[in-house]
Homo-oligomer: A and B are copies of this chain.
Amino acid sequence: MSQLKAVEYCAASPEVRAVYDDIKQTRQVDDVNNFWKYIAQHPPTLARTWDSLKEVMAPGALDPLIKELLYVAVSVTNNCGYCVASHTAAARRAGMTDEMFGELLAVVGMANETNRLAVGYRVPIDPAFE
């Protein structure tokens, strides 16, 4: 028996519903996605994670599209299937085109390659970069 399951709105506590409502209003969506329904099994994690994400992903010195591109870059590097799917969708909603997506993955691929070359050749940091 799996003890992990989604917490749907109808079965949620008022505390959890309040977070769901805020997500739906902030993002202008009809329902929250599975990520929120699963972490809602631990309400303090749901509330804290949403508060943090809302703050971090808000427009600032970097605009929301760039922030979503960064999220995809990290998720791909970490090989998180759910995260790649959900943040690729979020990036498209924020304006990512096919061409941008192609360039994004090209950069992510190259960075992962050169990261290992730097480690393998044990390259010392240039004084100019310290």
Contact = CB atoms under 8 A, between A and B. Distances in A.
Interface of A: 2-4, 33-35, 38-39, 41-42, 44-45, 48-49, 52-53, 55-57, 60-62, 66-67, 69-89, 92, 97-126, 128-130
B123 A112 contact: no
Interface residues of chain A: helix, strand, loop or mixed (majority):
helix
Contacts of A89: 128-129
Contacts of A76: 116, 119-120
Contacts of A101: 42
Contact of A39 (B81, B88, B104, B117): B117
Nearest to A68: B107
A95 to B, nearest CB: 11
A28 B102 CA distance: 27
B102 A42 contact: yes
Contacts of A33: 126, 128-129
B52 A48 contact: yes
